[in-house]
Amino acid sequence: MEKKYVVPLKDAVTGVLHGKAGTFRVLIDEDISGAQHFSLLVNTMNAGVEGGWHKHDDNEHCWYILSGYGTMYIADETFELGPEMAVFAPANTMHKIDVGPDEDLTYVLVYAPPGPEKLLKAHGEHAFDKK
């Protein structure tokens, strides 16, 4: 497959987020673009979703909120989220997102190094189920 340097959102690898919480869209990763040190997604979590606590042992990641509101929990801290905000979660740090009740939360998501997007692409809504 030819590697893409430019990927329109409509061409993203798309599926159901874990727990049926919304939609993931992988735009840049090793398979699509040849990126070896990060992956980039645009995800939408449904209004009213309460995320589950989890961590990624080897992956830092960050979010840039495009639209919607919610609450981010990182370790023992709580942050209100809204458009034009960036959030960072260090590797091996427990975190979760709860989405406000009135509108979906859409954000850009970067994993570095890449990895969790592979689970999403392979297992969709069951990507992070406990084994």
Among 106, 112, 94, residue whose Cα is nearest residue 36? 112
pLDDT in tens, 82-94: 999 999 999 999 9
Instruction: Please name every residue paired with 112 in a beta bridge, in sequence order, or none if there are none.
Output: 60
Over residues 98-118, the mean pLDDT reads 96
The residue ranking higher by pLDDT, 126 or 108, is 108
pLDDT for res 19: 84
- Every domain of the chain and the residues it spans: 15-104
In CATH, what number does 15-104 get? 2.60.120.10
- Interior angle at CA 80, CA 54 and CA 61, nearest 5: 40
CB-CB neighbours of 48 under 10 Å: 14
